[in-house]
Amino acid sequence: MTEIERVLHLFKPISLEEMSAVKLMNRVDTKYMISLSQLGDILNQLQAHYYVQQVCDECIIPYSTLYYDTEDVQMYIAHHNRKLCRQKLRSRIYGLTENVFCEVKRKNNHGRTKKKRIAIKKEEWENMLQQPYIVEFVQQYLPYSISLLQPQVQTDFNRITLVNYSKTERLTIDKDVNFYNHVTGMHADAGNLVIMELKQDARKKSMVKQVLFDMRIKPHKISKYCLGTVLTRPQVKANRFKKKIRFIEELNSI
């Protein structure tokens, strides 16, 4: 048993069914980047205040996400160019349960993230835009022509999900992050990088924020899709993300 697994066994568990009250589909996200070596200390400080989600008696759940974009990655470029209103389209396999969804994420100019999704079949996750019912769903929320969209970056990672006792916020902790680009055929991994994302209905006080503040860990805007694109598509415009890449390299040296 690893140190991370040992600490997670000290948390009170919460089931998927109980998590239904904490969907936060319209939310404010605060993201952080830490090194894997810092995670154990953070979990120890949160243990008395948060539940850990369990699926099939496991607390560390594998996820696979496939992001779709245009051939010239317009959704990536919108993010890179700091466009406030932007979208992402993905299919995601939630490990262990084998639940698969088509998801559209939209961020507005007030910093709020809204997510819409429908369940799809596992065999459709790499070719979902060939399915009429999925196309109909996507067209409701995405201002891009379906004919221009194609699979781009696949992201695989292991996720820990915490929920505070009052069930007003959710913290996802993603580690073992790696990427595969379906267009270039390139692979990359993020090493010891851990991406934490605090999801709330509003920017409220939070035990997570206090713990990270005390450890001098500041929020960092980070997109796994954008990171994966930069690492697996060498010619893509990436000036805005160079500083983040250097920060990740520093984390990997801790």
DSSP sequence for 119-144: E--GGGTTSGGGSHHHHHHHHHH--S
- pLDDT for 26 equals 56
User: How many domains are contained in the chain?
Assistant: 1
- pLDDT for 172 equals 96
- pLDDT for 23 equals 62
- pLDDT for 21 equals 67
| β-pairing verdict for 50-53 and 86-94 | unpaired
What tokens appear for 203 in the block? Answer: 């920017």
User: Mean pLDDT in runs of 10 for the chain (254 residues)?
Assistant: 91 87 68 96 96 93 96 94 90 88 89 87 93 96 94 97 90 97 97 94 82 95 94 93 92 86
- pLDDT for 254 equals 80
174, 159 Cβ separation under 8 angstroms: yes
Give the length of the chain: 254
What tokens appear for 224 in the block? Answer: 């796994």
Range of the structural domain that residue 74 is part of = 3-251
The alpha carbon dihedral of 238, 241, 243, 248 has a sign of negative
Residue spans of beta strands (DSSP E) within the chain = 12-14, 26-35, 50-53, 61-70, 86-94, 99-107, 112-119, 149-164, 169-181, 187-189, 193-200
- pLDDT for 62 equals 95
- pLDDT for 221 equals 87
CATH of the domain at 152: 2.40.320.10
